[in-house]
Amino acid sequence: AKLFGFTPFSILLPQALAGVFSVALLYWLVRRHFGVIAGLLAALALALSPVSVVTNRNNTIDSILVFALLLGTWAVLRAAETGRLRLLLLSAAIVGLGFNIKMMEAYLVVPAFGLLYLLAAPRSIWKRIGHLALAAALMLAISLSWALAVDLTPASQRPYVGSTQTNSEIDLAFGYNGIQRLVGMSGPGGGPGPNSSGNTGPQNGTPPNGNGTQNGAPPNGAPGNPGQGQPPQGGPGGGPGGPGSGGVFGTGTPGPLRLFNGILAEQIAWLLPLAILGAVALAWQRRPRWQSDRQQQSLVLWCMWVLTMGIFFSVAGFFHPYYLTMMAPGICALFGIGLVVMWQDYRRSGWHGWLLPLALIVTAAEQIYILNSYPAWGQVLIPLLAGLCGLAALALIACRLVPRIRIKASNVRFLMPMLSVGVLALMLAPTIWGAIPVLNGEAQGLPQAGPGQGFGFGGGGNGGDDNANADSTLIKYLEANQGKATFLVAAASSMQADGIILATNKPVMAMGGFNGGDPILTAEKVASLVSNGTVRFFLLNGDGGFGGPGGSPSAVTSWVTQHCRTVPTSQWQSSSTSAGPGGGFGPGSGADQLYDCASAQRAA
C-alpha cells in the first residue's frame, strides 16, 4: 500500500505474485526428479486449477501460505536427501511462519514433512527422531511467537482479539481457527453458529487471517483506527453455491466421497482420479528404497500431502471451499508425475500399461459427473470431453490389444498426440471453471470457481458488494452531523463498517468485531463513549444488532435503543437501499437503523 496506495491492485498483487511463484516453484520441485515434461504438466495443472485461480485473485491470504509451504517443501526435500539438520529446521521455521499467515491451516503439511524425513534422511533412526523433535520445538516457538506477544500484552493496551469470547490469540488459533474447523462450531463471539442449509443468513464465516484484530474494532472500547487489516471484498450474497451443495457453506456432508461431490468437486476434484492412479503407478514401479530413491521420496511427500488434506477436508465440520487451494500443489504434482510414469509403464509389456487409458476414462467420468449438475455447460462440454478422451483412450487400448501394432517408434509418434489431446481435454472444464469468475469480474469475499458462485460477504438483504452498506445518503448525513465525535459512526460489525470506511477514510467503530458477535463493549462503556463525545451515531440491525446468542438484543443494543433517538430513514437512507443490507454474517438480518445519541450526551 505504501508503494501503490490503498487500491484493489495493491491489495491483490501479493496474492497474484504468490500464485505465479507457486507455479514456477512446483515446476522446479517436480522437474528435479521426474523431468521437464512432468514438471510442465504439474505447473500447467496448478496454473489452471480453478480453486487456485480464484484464490490468487482474491485478498484472502491462502495463496501466500501455499507459496510459503512450497518453499518449506524444497527445504524438507533437501533435508531428506542430505540429512542436514539446518535444512530441516529451515522447513520447520517456514511452517511456523505459515502458522502466523493462516494459523493451523499451515500444519496440514506437517505429517508429509515429518514422515518424509523419518523415512528418507540418511541418518540413524534415533538421530532422525531427535532432529524431528528439534524441528517441532522450533516450529512451535515460531508459531506461537505472535500469539504469545498479543496475549502477554495487557488487554487495555491492545485491540480485542476477534472471534473469541476470551480475548486471547491462543484461543483464536487453537479454538475458532483450530479445533472448531474440524468438529464444527457453535458460533464465536456469542453469535449463532452456521446453519446447515447452505444459506449464508446468520452464519459466522470469519476466514482465519492470522491476526486477531479486526477492522475498526475498538481496543477494549478505546478509539481504534479505521481500516486495520484487509476488509473483505463483497461477493454474491446467499444462495447454495451450486447444485449438489449442502452443509456449512455448501461443503457437503462429511464422508469419504465428499471431495468428489458438489462444490468441493468443482474446486479441486477435476484431476484428482488421475493423480491418485498416478501415485499408484509410481508406487508399484519398484521396491521401496526410501533413503536412496529420490522419486520415492517425492512420492511419500506428495501422497502424504494429498492424503492428510483429503482426510481433513472429508471430515471437517467448518471450512470454506477455497481452503482446498492447499490441496492443489499435491494433486497437480501427482498429476504431472503420474502421467509420465503411466506413459513409461504403457510402453512396457505387462498389465501395468493398462493404467494409463483407465486413468483417462475414470478422470473423464468424474468430470462428466461434475458437469452433469450444470445442463447449460454440460450439453457443450460433456460431448467434447467424452469424445476427445474416449478417442485417446481407445487409441491407447487398441495399440495394446492388436499385436501387429505393438508400441514402436512410428506408433509412438501417433499415440503421443492422441494422449496429448486426451490430457488437454481433461484441462478444458477446469480451465473454464476458473475463468468464469475472472470473466464475470466479480469481487468475491469467499472465492469460489464455477457458475455456481454462491457465497460472499454480502448482507442478508441484497448481498453483494460491501460498499452497498456505504449508502451515499447515509454518508452525507453522518459527515454533516458528526460534529466533534471521534468516530463517524459505530456499527454492529465490520461487515457494516468496512464500506463506510472505504468510502470516507474516516474512523468507524465495529462494536462486535468482524461478525458482530465479539463481546468487546459493555453498556457502561458505550455510555461512557457517548458521554465523552467519542461516538454520536450508532448503525444497528433492525432485529437487535449484535451480541447475544440466537440474535437476541445485547445489553449494548438495549442501551442504545433506550437512550438514543431513532433517526427517520427518510433523512439518511436512499430509497434504493430501504430494505437495508443487513449485517453480513452477524446475527442481524433485518433493515439497518440509525440512532443519534446527541441527547444522551447532553443528559450526561
Q: What is the pLDDT of residues 234-256, one digit of tens each?
A: 333 333 344 445 666 778 889 99
CA pair distance 545, 559, nearest whole angstrom:
12
Average pLDDT over residues 196-211: 35
pLDDT at 604: 61
Average pLDDT over residues 54-65: 94
pLDDT at 354: 93
- pLDDT-derived band at 186 (thresholds 50, 70, 90) equals low
- pLDDT-derived band at 552 (thresholds 50, 70, 90) equals very low
pLDDT at 247: 62
pLDDT at 458: 37
Is the per-residue pLDDT at 377 higher than 50? Answer: yes
pLDDT at 191: 39
What cell numbers appear for 88 in the block? 530441516
Q: In this structure, is residue 595 part of a structural domain?
A: yes
- Do 330 and 356 fall into the same domain? no
- Do 52 and 141 fall into the same domain? yes
Q: In this structure, is residue 200 part of a structural domain?
A: no
Is the per-residue pLDDT at 602 higher than 80? Answer: no
- Do 470 and 598 fall into the same domain? yes
pLDDT at 542: 61
Last residue of some domain: 411, 440, 469? 440
Amino acid (1-letter code) at residue 180: Q
- Out of 238-247, 291-300, 332-341, 350-359, pick the least confident: 238-247
Better pLDDT: 327 or 208:
327
- Do 361 and 330 fall into the same domain? no
Contact 230, 1 (CB under 8 A): no
Q: In this structure, is residue 199 part of a structural domain?
A: no
Query: Which among 498, 517, 518 has a CA at the least distance from the CA of 509?
Result: 498
Query: Which among 279, 336, 280, 247 has a CA at the least distance from the CA of 30?
Result: 336
Q: In this structure, is residue 236 part of a structural domain?
A: no
Is the per-residue pLDDT at 226 higher than 70? Answer: no
- Do 135 and 34 fall into the same domain? yes
- Do 317 and 372 fall into the same domain? no
Last residue of some domain: 292, 307, 335? 335
Q: In this structure, is residue 382 part of a structural domain?
A: yes
The pair phi, psi for residue 304, each rounded to 5°, is -70, -35
Query: Which among 76, 31, 23, 133 has a CA at the least distance from the CA of 297?
Result: 76
pLDDT at 298: 96
Query: Which among 586, 480, 501, 478 has a CA at the least distance from the CA of 541?
Result: 586
Last residue of some domain: 286, 304, 335? 335
% of residues, the chain, pLDDT over 70: 79
- Do 478 and 529 fall into the same domain? yes
How many domains does the chain divide into?
3
Is the per-residue pLDDT at 525 higher than 70? Answer: yes
pLDDT at 403: 61
What cell numbers appear for 418 in the block? 492422441
- pLDDT-derived band at 445 (thresholds 50, 70, 90) equals confident
- Say how many C-beta atoms besides its own lie within 10 A of residue 349's C-beta: 10
Q: What is the pLDDT of residues 270-302, one digit of tens each?
A: 999 999 999 999 998 878 888 888 999 999 999
Domain hosting residue 417, numbered range: 349-440
Contact 128, 80 (CB under 8 A): no
Better pLDDT: 228 or 31:
31
CA pair distance 366, 260, nearest whole angstrom:
8
Q: In this structure, is residue 222 part of a structural domain?
A: no
Query: Which helix or strand (DSSP H or E) is residue 563 part of?
Result: helix 555-563
Q: In this structure, is residue 341 part of a structural domain?
A: no
Q: In this structure, is residue 212 part of a structural domain?
A: no
Contact 88, 128 (CB under 8 A): no
CA pair distance 396, 497, nearest whole angstrom:
59
Is the per-residue pLDDT at 466 higher than 50? Answer: no
pLDDT at 192: 36
pLDDT at 490: 95
Q: What is the pLDDT of residues 381-417, one digit of tens each?
A: 999 999 999 999 999 998 888 765 555 555 667 788 9
Query: Which among 315, 309, 314 has a CA at the least distance from the CA of 333?
Result: 309
- Do 422 and 547 fall into the same domain? no
pLDDT at 342: 95
What cell numbers appear for 556 in the block? 449494548
pLDDT at 185: 61
- pLDDT-derived band at 495 (thresholds 50, 70, 90) equals confident
- Out of 41-45, 333-337, 500-504, pick the least confident: 500-504
Q: 81 CB contacts (<8 Å, ≥6 apart)?
A: 120, 294, 297
Q: Beta strands 489-491 and 508-510: pairing type?
A: parallel
Average pLDDT over residues 339-361: 92
- Do 394 and 492 fall into the same domain? no
- Say how many C-beta atoms besides its own lie within 10 A of residue 505's C-beta: 12
Contact 85, 127 (CB under 8 A): no
Q: What is the mean pLDDT of the chain?
A: 83
The three-class DSSP label of residue 491 is strand
What cell numbers appear for 341 in the block? 510414469
pLDDT at 252: 83
- Do 436 and 489 fall into the same domain? no
Q: 394 CB contacts (<8 Å, ≥6 apart)?
A: none
- Do 272 and 360 fall into the same domain? no
pLDDT at 589: 41
- pLDDT-derived band at 201 (thresholds 50, 70, 90) equals very low
Better pLDDT: 542 or 213:
542
Average pLDDT over residues 93-118: 97
- Do 360 and 330 fall into the same domain? no
Better pLDDT: 359 or 232:
359
pLDDT at 221: 38
CA pair distance 188, 363, nearest whole angstrom:
40
